[in-house]
């Protein structure tokens, strides 16, 4: 635990950083590597919608848990599905 002090002389205040209240963070895993899915299709809209936020942004891999290879593939497929009007650009 780090301790910082502020001020000068007698009026020093000690500020302590709080520990993380959420506890240990669970390691996310790539769904596609774990299930050993051969291919992902742009027509599979229900699977692709999981990786899009309410505002229409594509979730980052740190939130979705995908590996870099599959995150790039998902991005390509979402853009393709949007272009073909299978997925909306915004909601």
The answer to the question of residue 2 being in a domain is no
The answer to the question of residue 66 being in a domain is yes
Q: Is 9's pLDDT higher than 60? A: no
The answer to the question of residue 22 being in a domain is no
* Distance between CA atoms of residues 90 and 73, nearest Å: 20
Domain that holds residue 50: 27-91
The answer to the question of residue 17 being in a domain is no
Mean pLDDT of 2-23: 60
9-14: list long-range contacts, CB under 8 Å, 24+ apart.
Answer: none
For the domain that residue 67 is a member of, what is the CATH number? 4.10.640.10
Q: pTM of this prediction?
A: 0.68
Which pLDDT value is given to residue 2?
58
pLDDT tens-place string over residues 31-80 = 888 888 778 899 999 999 999 999 999 999 988 899 999 999 999 999 99
Which pLDDT value is given to residue 58?
94
The answer to the question of residue 51 being in a domain is yes
The answer to the question of residue 12 being in a domain is no
Q: How many domains does the chain have?
A: 1
The answer to the question of residue 16 being in a domain is no
The token duo for 84 is: 């073909």
64, with CB counted inside 10 A (0-12, 13-18, 19+), is: middle
């Amino acid at each position: 635990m780090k301790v910082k002090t502020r001020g000068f002389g007698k009026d020093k205040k000690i500020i302590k950083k709080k520990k993380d209240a959420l506890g240990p963070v669970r390691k996310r895993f790539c769904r596609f590597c774990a299930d050993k899915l051969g291919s992902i299709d742009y027509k599979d809209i229900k699977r692709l919608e999981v990786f899009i936020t309410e505002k229409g942004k594509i979730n980052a891999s740190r939130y979705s848990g995908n590996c870099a290879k599959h995150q790039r593939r998902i991005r390509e497929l979402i853009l393709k599905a949007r272009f073909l009007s299978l997925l909306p650009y915004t909601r």
